Structure 1
């Protein structure tokens, strides 16, 4: 006999094939373990000495990089708890453009500390309470580390921009930061408007061309298009420009009709009428004073013939985004269809020319006098992977400049309206001159948050202490990535700070403590502020989960 046993409890509520994980062992600790595995992947890539990861995505595209944002984007993380860390890293990358690795690695360290506390008998709610108090205290301490007057900087002064940008770029391309920063600073200063708060990251473009080396890279005031012109005219100087978004062709009607042609003369006259119509349209464009036609669509053979006759240079830009940038560069509003443009509204370029760089034909559109709303960094390198990594370093530098510019950008944080100043944590890190990032600040935060935990009387004091200990992860990881003894380095740091020498960092090349106060090394306050906030929010979100239902 077969008994038809009816499901009971949660099995009767959910459909067949579901999964239900509940309790500390099944839900909380497994979630923490998944997040630890993700942070282990990114941790070895932290800092300038970080190792590269080789990731091949579902399209068989190869990524060789130490950029955490790119790594986690291409990993296609499936675990729901680990996805929370990925989202925190993405938020950091979109908000600041740097610090994604710090966010993911530090969150993994916090969750590992939480796991130890749970095994000791603490409830997750007590850990969350302690972490919340610790992050609020950390943000207060972080403000004390800001160098006085560091928010007062001239964003149009290249030397000031270079000194504040180097640390960010060095974390991606150590040893080449000066060259990259010089290129990025030139490009950003060129496109920075009179009101720096209106600086647009999209106005700094990157063109990657294989061949040569980084020393061959340049900055162009204008655009670099990786294509060739249509036609034989390859150069134009001080030219008026007209842009047609719909293409350079006669518009076809939607109606259908039949034309009866009885004689050869009628056939000849019919084709001549079409030619005359196209010639008339091209002639009115030439008569308006334009020397360059840019098409957003197809260019008809007959139209091209008459463009050649009237000495008009023809460019084709298929991407609508590139077309918009071209319009910004030239100061022209794209026309929808071929027709007579207003001579007063024509765009202007100093020069348009076709050049061959590394075997690739490119169109260089320069606009140094008529305007400089778009600048392009032309990067040269031996492989696609190197060029991609250089582009990420440039992107970090541009986003850092954006933070300098948005000095009075208002935002809500910690339930208070604060002014996000481009505050710099100065002289806080040395190590390869840029390696052990914010070391003095890390030790300072550890000591102060640890002291704060001793003043608490509840069980959450253990969580606050564990939060403070998690700061050790940064110097320990960077020292390990540099091949040094992490315990010796951390011990020497604590010894120096205990003796009252609070302005000490580690030079990883020599492996000794040094006074960093005399070095002009800067770190963005807002990067650390948002990273710590995202880390605490992500960790507390994961610890609040007690059931997983799939």
Structure 2
């Protein structure tokens, strides 16, 4: 980047910096975003294919979850990173629909590229896209189906739809019900926080062995073999204070000149530990979960009193235990009251697939529950966990918003139809951008058909014909290729999934279109700087467009 002063060039940027501007910069960014969209497009829908991702350490991930694929890919191009960000946002907000969002954003940019070649200014395109996105949200809101948090059947369909196509053939009958019951248990004031649902993965058994525990499961064992393995009518003390003798916080030396003094010192240590254990016993607790360590001698005294104890329990597990048992986490044993204790019908140590685990069940109105996932291999368990996470999140969203829509590309087709009618009422060049947005919505049914091995043109024409007849819930059955009523078929998705996907795709496409100048700093010696611009695509050059 240089300027001229009396014929003398003036360098503004550091040597080695690269600048791309105008149409070339736009084309580079659009190309990068389209490449990311094409990378995940084949995973869309119940018939989507899986990706195998191998990292630099040789660890393998097999998945068709869009956000997982994008997180695992080592992407460097700035515009491509923006696509990864919208997938992460969709995952955080809704839990599903990440692939849909990225595919829509990529298609919006592809359509925008054609408009740019017709010399339509990027500002006009972005204005049209924003108008179309707002109208699309209104159309989706009009076709939404109300659902109550007590409608277990409808919520099961929402969970089943989210899990379809994610290697869940064996668990499709049990997991939707488990997910709905788990979310219902932690629902408070109309808000479902899925962080209160602990998902524990166990390699061993089959997916069908998975179960919901109305309480907590923690990956810990009792600290002393003489402690009881099972405690009924448990009174549970949750402590984040160590059951160990205190060490001085400053450097100190103790001078011992005789064996009597040494014995007195050891006796005092023992007395301190015994006092701590006596305080625990005096509270009435018969189960102790400690976030920090428990001294060996303290373990012996606890075992003598018949108290079941586990140590070094994770902070997140302690918080979930407090919500499940109704107890409070105490920081000092000196001021523990009976009201601080949690309660459970049964605390039991069980061996599950060669691992000792602690089950806390029979809790009264637990506000934290555990879902145990079994699977034949680590890859199976990991993929099931991703599917369960999506299902839990979408059920929570459906309960919070109390609105759902039919799936199978029926909302996208209805939006496309509504936008084409809306475009005719809008004057000026924005009309072209709105029509491009409507055409973009067709990419979802087209991709669903392609991934199922069907003819995309036939599927699109049949679907459009049904929607023009007023059948708003008509969608594509990827198993037969027929157009059927998706609401009756039980393919249901949360409204927020669709509205957020449309808004996120439009926002990211708008942001990328408004960039007309890319200035990349030079790479420092021996370090990684910004990606080469152009012609490099930041490690994505080998992907097919």
Q: What TM-score do the two structures reach when normalised by structure 1?
A: 0.87
Residues 166-186 of structure 1 show CA distances to partners (whole Å, capped at 9, x for unaligned) of 222325355443321111112
Q: Which residue in the other structure is 2:139 paired with? A: 141
Q: Which residue in the other structure is 1:216 paired with? A: 209
Q: Which residue in the other structure is 1:423 paired with? A: 403
Q: Which residue in the other structure is 1:414 paired with? A: none
In structure 2, distance between residues paired with 1:300 and 1:160:
52
Q: CA deviation at 1:348?
A: 1.8
Aligned residues: 513
Point out where structure 1 has 5 or more consecutive residues left out of the alignment.
407-420, 430-436
Q: Which residue in the other structure is 2:230 paired with? A: 235
Distance 1:10 1:382, change over 3 A: farther
Distance 1:478 1:257, change over 3 A: same
In structure 1, distance between residues paired with 2:91 and 2:426:
34
Q: Secondary structure at the match of 1:46?
A: coil
In structure 1, distance between residues paired with 2:202 and 2:230:
21
Residues 344-397 of structure 1 show CA distances to partners (whole Å, capped at 9, x for unaligned) of 42222222111111222211112433x401110100001112111211221122
In structure 1, distance between residues paired with 2:330 and 2:316:
15
* The one of 44, 59, 62 aligned to 1:61: 59
C-alpha contact 1:103 1:531 (8 A) present in aligned 2: yes
Q: CA deviation at 1:325?
A: 1.7
Q: Which residue in the other structure is 1:434 paired with? A: none
C-alpha contact 1:34 1:82 (8 A) present in aligned 2: yes
In structure 2, distance between residues paired with 1:243 and 1:506:
53
Q: Which residue in the other structure is 1:185 paired with? A: 180
In structure 2, distance between residues paired with 1:383 and 1:7:
72
In structure 1, distance between residues paired with 2:394 and 2:487:
22
Equivalent residue runs for 1:115-514 within 5 Å:
115-147=113-145, 150-151=146-147, 153=148, 155-173=149-167, 175=169, 176-193=171-188, 195-197=189-191, 199-232=192-225, 233=227, 234-254=229-249, 256-262=252-258, 264-339=259-334, 341-369=336-364, 371-406=365-400, 421-425=401-405, 428-429=406-407, 437=408, 439-498=409-468, 503-514=473-484
Q: Which residue in the other structure is 1:417 paired with? A: none
Q: Which residue in the other structure is 1:418 paired with? A: none
- Structure 2 residue 112 is the aligned partner of structure 1 residue 114: yes
Q: CA deviation at 1:143?
A: 2.2
C-alpha contact 1:249 1:338 (8 A) present in aligned 2: no
Distance 1:268 1:14, change over 3 A: same
Q: Which shows bigger deviation, 335-344 or 464-473?
A: 335-344
Distance 1:546 1:166, change over 3 A: same
In structure 1, distance between residues paired with 2:343 and 2:35:
55
Q: CA deviation at 1:144?
A: 2.3
Q: What TM-score do the two structures reach when normalised by structure 2?
A: 0.88
Distance 1:445 1:159, change over 3 A: closer
Distance 1:185 1:515, change over 3 A: closer
Superposition RMSD in Å: 2.4
* The one of 71, 74, 84 aligned to 2:72: 74
- Structure 2 residue 13 is the aligned partner of structure 1 residue 18: no
In structure 1, distance between residues paired with 2:5 and 2:58:
48
Distance 1:449 1:299, change over 3 A: same
